[in-house]
Structure 1
């Protein structure tokens, strides 16, 4: 591993839009601590364009070849979801850490393979769950954990986005095999992860899902009711059919209502606190988010990942905390596709939904080949 006075050697795997638009600027903003040494893409032309833009010369079309030649400390995995598990296992086996785009994998079975790879290598895989790390989100989490806002009672978690039919002409979108699931897995997972960060562990899910308008294998909308360990109840909506797009989170506690309204990322001003009538003004003043205003973004999470890498400690947004979010997603699919409530304790290897989010459910699972 790189010494404390040396820059961390970083590689990027997958050089599409998210790598170019989010990961590269984040890396470049930390040039004093990070050196981008290589990029990988199955498309030689695309990786060449990325390398030219990033001002590097080491472009590859094979992950294992790059790992052997460059031995990076950290690899940003920005490929489609179906590619993640194999690439993460290779990265971790090489002793490199990974930072992978959401969803980190398609199933709990794959996530447990990531955990086994971590244990075998001593390296870690963190997930891009940047909504946890904006200054206002972290402040809200601290207030709730400290009991400053009272007891959590009721929540709404809404991801109502719009993706036109043309969005699904990209070959890997809209199928169970390539994405793992629909907007519940690929879009709403960010807001649901933030909900769990604020409210803690959950116990039971009752859900519905529909394939209402888009020509896809997966759902295009889902609705769920969630019971948390602390007794709070939440409604969750995920959609890619909504012309007026919004990401919305509301938590009603015994002393305050906390609301967040944004789209793909928030600032401090997107959060509001409404006090219950009995709360004195002096206490309300403590709810204000301290400066500076750090938007939820890759740039907000990245320094925390680098600090953990330097210290050799498990980074935030990895391990059990990420698995809890994937468990919620899995239970939502199981409930929606079986028509019954699902408890977290059911999500074991004997459960078909542990291995595929469609759970081999007739009418939702892909048709089996007779070959």
Structure 2
């Protein structure tokens, strides 16, 4: 059956999945159930979208053979258990970021996925939009040349009222701060365009809010291709900006500065000369619009399920993003450079809160 039935678990960001990801594709998805512990929220979302089935029981939905996809939009601290349970129930699984709270947990999920009937797709919706996808096509066409240097800025604002939600700002339930729940998007976009990092030096601090987790970070990366990239993050900016600026041999790319949709146009694509500009124009001459965020990610997931394309975001992609987080926390604690990849011998493999000696 081409229309896949979906149960949304958690009706906070889950509402955005419905509006942006499922409603634009009625020939591909049907949200048949919603689950939330807040019954008032269940009623509000159910009434808004005409979803009749509303429950507080996650297990009830796992047992329903009529549900194809479990879409997990719950607080991060329970992602691992819910993902593994949904895979064990034979479901396809979509999971909001962060996928989980340690590399050990990520590897447990990856192991569970290998023997599962269904497929896991982590959420990284910022990858999608005309700007970032044009850059991706141009780089993959070989026009950009050697990557020299880059900067990635996540300058957002979160006030005390944001942290009035009980699970936010705590290690046990949010799993981390700006690196885990905010900047993770932009850092994934960097890897999506420029490949992985090999060395990490970072500092983190809590300077903006009275919370357990970090809300400021400064990081230096050496990429696998030899380039240097700086990452800057804060939740104390007076105006919210998400920005990537990547300097290649033949082209400089700069994203728009829209905090929550940096993948959309306009991106600056600055060519070294007229010849490079002409080649860029030729590569994107047949461009077809790429809808933003969840719209395209869900569409491409459906294509994958129908055998029409690759899985748009993989568990390995999610692990790579979490590996960077692990390295930054380890570097900040130890004051030392950290080499990637990170395996079980890392002092933070099993958990980020363990102090590095």
* TM superposition score category, shorter chain reference: over 0.9
Kindly provide the CA deviation profile for residues 130-157 of structure 1, in whole angstroms up to 9, marking residues without a partner as x. Answer: 1222232122112212320111110101
CA gap 1:269/1:119 in 2 versus in 1, 3 angstroms: closer
Q: Is residue 182–residue 220 contact of structure 1 (8 Å, CA) maintained in 2?
A: yes
CA distance, structure 1, for counterparts of residue 157 and residue 85 of structure 2: 35
Q: How does 1:201-216 map to 2 (within 5 A)?
A: 201-216=196-211
Alpha-carbon deviations, 1:158-205, whole Å to 9, x = none?
100010122111111111111111001110000000000111121000
2:278 is equivalent to residue 298 of structure 1: no
Q: Does 1:15 align with 2:11?
A: yes
Alpha-carbon deviations, 1:107-129, whole Å to 9, x = none?
A: 11111121122112132211111
Aligned-residue offset at 1:267: 5.7
Which SS does the other structure have where 1:360 is aligned?
coil
> For 1:105 and 1:122, how far apart are their aligned partners in 2?
21
Distance 2:23 2:65 in 1: 19
1:310 aligns with 2:303: no
Q: 1:36 to 1:201 in 2, by over 3 A?
A: same
Q: 1 or 2 for the larger relative contact order (CA 8 Å, sep ≥6)? A: 2
Shift of 1:307: 1.2
Contact persistence 2:21–2:297 (CA under 8 A): no
Query: Which residues of 2 match residues 200-349 of structure 1 at below 5 A?
Result: 200-261=195-256, 262-266=258-262, 268-277=264-273, 279-286=275-282, 290-311=286-307, 315-345=311-341, 347-349=342-344
What secondary structure sits across from 2:63 in the alignment? helix
Alignment correspondent of 1:56: 51
Pick from 117, 121, 135 the counterpart of residue 122 of structure 1. Answer: 117
Residues 215-235 of structure 1, C-alpha deviations (whole Å, 9 max, x = no match): 011111001011111111100
User: Do the aligned partners of 2:197 and 2:340 also contact (CA within 8 Å) in 1?
Assistant: yes
The CA deviation at 1:270 is 2.5
Report the counterpart of residue 131 of structure 1 in structure 2. 126
In the TM superposition, 1:15-164 aligns within 5 A as 15-16=11-12, 18-164=13-159
Task: List structure 1 runs of 4+ shifted beyond 6 angstroms.
Answer: none
Q: Normalising by structure 2, report the TM-score.
A: 0.93
Deviations 1:327-353 (A, max 9, x none): 1121111111221110113x2223231
Q: How far did 1:313 drift? A: 7.8
Partners of 1:97 and 1:341 in 2: CA distance = 38
Identify the match of residue 180 of structure 1 among 175, 179, 191.
175
Change (3 A) 1:280 1:40: closer
SS at match of 2:150: strand
State the distance in 1 between where 2:48 and 2:178 align.
31
> Which consecutive unaligned segments of at least 5 residues does structure 2 have?
none
Pair 1:28–1:65, CA change in 2 (3 A): same
TM-score by length of 1: 0.90
CA-based RMSD: 2.0
Q: Do the aligned partners of residues 327 and 36 (structure 1) sit closer, same or farther apart at CA in structure 2, a change above 3 Å counting?
A: same
Q: Does 1:171 align with 2:166?
A: yes
Using the alignment, how far apart are the partners of 1:91 and 1:330 within structure 2? Answer: 26
**Count of matched residue pairs:** 356
